[in-house]
Amino acid sequence: MFHNSHMLCLPIINDKMEPIGIISWRDILKVIAQQYRNKLAANK
């Protein structure tokens, strides 16, 4: 999604369609990296 649209971040909205924050591709990458590290640690 980020790559195809050349967007660097996306708004996070609540049920009332009000902005409550943003998420970037770096935020997503950090979560994926942490999950990978956790999986590696669990397999040791």
Q: Measure CA 5 to chain center.
A: 16
Question: pLDDT digit string (tens) for 1-44?
Answer: 556 667 789 999 999 999 999 999 899 999 999 999 999 999 87
pLDDT of res. 22:
96
What are the backbone angles phi and psi of residue 37, rounded to the nearest 5°? -60, -40
Alpha helix ranges (H) inside the chain: 2-5, 25-42
pTM (two decimals) = 0.63
Structure tokens at 10: 């996306």
pLDDT of res. 1:
57
Domain map (residue ranges) of the chain: 9-43
Q: How far apart are the C-alpha atoms of 2 and 23, rounded to whole Å?
A: 11
Q: How far apart are the C-alpha atoms of 27 and 20, rounded to whole Å?
A: 16
Q: How far apart are the C-alpha atoms of 27 and 19, rounded to whole Å?
A: 17
